[in-house]
Amino acid sequence: MRKWLTPASLAALMAIQGCGGGGGGGGGAPTPAAATADTNTVALTGPNVQPISVNAGLGGSVNLAFTSVVLCAPGSGNCQTIDNVLIDTGSTGLRIMSSALSASLSLPQQMDAKGDPVVECAQFADGYAWGPVKLADLKIAGEQANSLPIQVIGDPKVSLAPSRCSATGPSRNSVSELRANGILGLAIFRQDCGNACVLSGRPGIYYTCPSSGCQAAAIPLALQLQHPVSMFAVNNNGVIIELPSVPAAGAASVSGSLVFGIGTQANNGIGTATVIGVDSNTANFTTIYNGASYSASFIDSGSNAFFFADAGTPVCTDPSAAGFYCPPAAKNVSATILGRNGGSAPVNFSVANAVTLVKSNPGFAAFGNLAAPQFAANSFDWGLPFFYGRKVYTAIEGTGTPGGPSGPYVAF
């Protein structure tokens, strides 16, 4: 089964205060303070480099990385810049809120072979995002993907979501619910559903919506949401996310780089990074922690914490960070990541008291030591805190790396 927006990715879309790690609506983190701590910055240059920022975003968020994209009507100069788009290596495809699009930016509807509109239900752990698949030219850094299928979430011109979609939970069809203007999905997969949605009309995912109503439908690969990077001309085999280290107390914001391509330019070589092969169907690898093995592990920039099982660490009860870990004092722990290719790497990290972090540092948006219990048995989610102080590579399935291995893999 291909990964959609993972449970942890959904949690990442929620602010820490009032929502905890399990997602849910309502409640927001404290309003970011005016630069109470110096902004930490990693600055790379090149036509394949896009600036990114971890900041409070649109809803007082914590540990979310955002960037901007430019969308154009295909083949035209009618373009619009969309800010506050979440960078998510746990999903595939570009999804933009309808409310963030100018009325003058008319994007053509994706149609199936019968001429019926293609619409998608993106499923979250406790909700869904419903909207049509449309075509746009994407421009980001010096890269361009022409006629890219994207999802326009919450388009009021589309009929209400079918019950098999809406039954997955509350709507995530507005900026206030998603806390972002969109999601830039940069996982290992070329399409967001893949062959599973080609072979059958998998209920709850892709639909065709003629005037008579919407029905689940089998959708060819070419009509599904595509990995944007896979459609670039040259730097199209993966991405690198580089963020600076964060002090133990956190930071108001940090700035970093999203680099397109792996081994295709002088600024994106894989060097001595450890390559972790991942399962080609799930993007998972194995983590060994406290003597236990978690074979459904993954690295996900769209998750706002480390999510893993640790029975010896208490969970916060204070509403300011309910559901996160609250050890009496910050503790240093370690784990080992094991790839499907035999690659391995030890990882040392810290788990702090989430209540202390939030209350002692109001307005801070970047914490490298925020953690919470796992969402699913056998899982270990290495969320955005894992990215601080590292270069993290995500290689797209079926692509080669000049001077290196073939995707899919992650590396750091």
149 domain residue, yes or no: yes
User: Are the C-beta atoms of residues 90 and 68 closer than 8 Å to each other?
Assistant: no
> Does residue 223 belong to any structural domain of this protein?
yes
CA angle 226, 229, 230 (to 5 degrees): 60
18 found inside a domain:
yes
For 276, residues 6+ apart whose C-beta sits below 8 A from its C-beta are: 285, 337, 338, 339, 341, 343, 344, 345, 409, 410, 411, 412
For the chain, the domain total comes to 2
Can you give the pLDDT of all 412 residues of the chain as single tens digits? Answer: 233 333 333 343 344 332 223 322 222 332 333 333 444 666 678 999 999 999 999 988 999 999 999 999 999 999 999 999 999 999 999 999 999 999 999 999 999 999 999 999 998 766 799 999 999 999 999 999 999 999 999 999 998 999 889 888 888 999 999 899 999 999 999 999 999 999 876 767 999 999 999 999 999 999 999 999 999 999 999 999 999 999 999 999 999 999 999 999 999 999 999 999 999 999 999 999 999 999 999 999 999 999 999 999 999 999 989 999 999 999 999 999 999 999 999 999 999 999 999 999 999 999 999 999 998 999 999 999 999 999 999 999 999 998 889 999 999 9
Shared-domain flag, residues 346 and 272? yes
| Same domain, yes or no: 78 and 183 | yes
Co-location of 253 and 224 in the same domain: no
CB under 8 Å to 113, separation ≥6 — which residues? none
| Residues of the domain holding 386 | 238-411
Please indicate, yes or no, if residue 62 is contained in any of the structural domains: yes
Domain of 91: which CATH number?
Answer: 2.40.70.10
263 and 193 together in one domain:
no
